Amino acid sequence: MRRGRVPVPVAADPTLTDLTPNQRLRRLELTVTRRLDGLLHGERRGLLPGPGSEPAGSREYRPGEDEVRRMDWSVTARTTVPHVREVDADRELTTWLLVDASPSMEYGTAELDKRELAVAAVAAIGFLTAGAGNRLGAQVLTPYGLHRVPARGGRSHLVGLLRGLLAAPRQAGEPDGHRTADEVDLSAALAAVHRTANRRGLVVVISDFLDGLPDDPRSPATWERPLRRLSVRHQVLAVEVVDPRELELPDVGLITLADPETGRRREVWTGDPGLRERYAAAAAAQRDQLRQALRRAGATHLALRTDRDWAADIVRHVHTQRRLALAPAAPRRGGAA
């Protein structure tokens, strides 16, 4: 077989089977440390006292109101006053997804593009948060506006959401650099999620977070404040989707770069080693700026790359968060442990 004569096969678009969680995710579950205030009996820690299994302290025994079987004998022995145990009600988890499907997410140079990787992340999050009474809703940020999917439970709802994301139309034609009347940015989409997610739960933002990221690293991103508002009430997971060509340029000669959001074009000579070094340094500084903004906003950061095993990255993240949740609290300086 002679080299250079064999046509390179074009990779087909991934199907729903390719993006659904594999065996490595079957026994995992996302750790939610925030207390919830739902209405149904579920498997998560509740916010208010009631029937459940999560200890919430002890209080004095009220004759005629409390059951004797709930007596906290250890506290009663220490205080010589009858006490009963209190538990928090186990509640259901409502997860809201904000999926970025803007033109910048339609870029990819590996097996998946960023938008397909975002769909894979949605499949993993939906699988890891499935449980009794749990619900999953989504807000999809498209070039034509914000599309809302109501929160529902069940596997069929998740599969329908994934099929809708895979079949969603992509940006048609060349962008002109102007937003349409219905188009919103990431900060406005986060504000919409804040208005929709009334009950405490989990909010997952899947994006490249390039929209609204300022050139000056000392300036906050436009989406940082609405993301911080979400993290006050909810547990927030920020899933950053990255392509390797956003981090470094290969030496491929003269290329034409186009901004998918504005349509601006520029020719670049990638054979210049100084240019590639400056590009890599600027990309590293931008990612560090992004990590700092997410940390200030109080969100947990998970980075997924189109050229890496996304399932393995999610497995490592879940195990790390579980260890952090089980680790004892660090003692305060100058005080008791």
For the chain, report the end-to-end CA distance as a whole number of angstroms: 70
- In eight-state DSSP terms, residue 198 is -
**Overall pTM surpassing 0.85 (yes/no):** no
The residue extents of the domains of the chain are 41-91, 102-324
Look-up of token digits 């977070």 = 209
**pLDDT block averages, 10 residues each, the chain of length 337:** 44 61 59 48 46 64 80 87 73 85 85 89 87 85 88 86 82 52 79 89 92 85 94 92 90 82 82 90 93 94 92 86 70 40
| CA 194/CA 96 separation, integer angstroms | 10
Q: Residue 154 region, left (φ>0) first, then alpha (ψ -120 to 50), else beta?
A: left
Summarised one tens digit per residue, pLDDT across range 85-142 is 876 555 578 889 999 988 888 888 888 889 999 999 998 888 888 777 788 899 999 8
Q: List phi, psi (to 5°) of 69.
A: -70, -10
| CA 236/CA 298 separation, integer angstroms | 8
Cβ within 8 Å of residue 270, ≥6 positions away: 249, 250, 251, 252, 253, 254, 255, 276
The predicted structure's pLDDT at residue 85: 80
| CA 94/CA 36 separation, integer angstroms | 9
Quickly list DSSP for 200-269: S-EEEEEE---TT--SSTTSPPTTHHHHHHHHHHSEEEEEEEE-GGGT-----SEEEEE-TTT--EEEEE
Q: What CATH number was assigned to the domain covering residues 102-324?
A: 3.40.50
The predicted structure's pLDDT at residue 257: 82
SS3 89: strand
Residue 72: count other Cβ atoms within 10 Å of its Cβ.
19
Residue 304: count other Cβ atoms within 10 Å of its Cβ.
23
Is 272:137 a contact under the CB 8 Å cutoff? Answer: no
The whole-angstrom distance between residue 47's C-alpha and the CA centroid of its chain comes to 23
CA-based nearest residue to 300, from 44, 31, 38, 43: 31
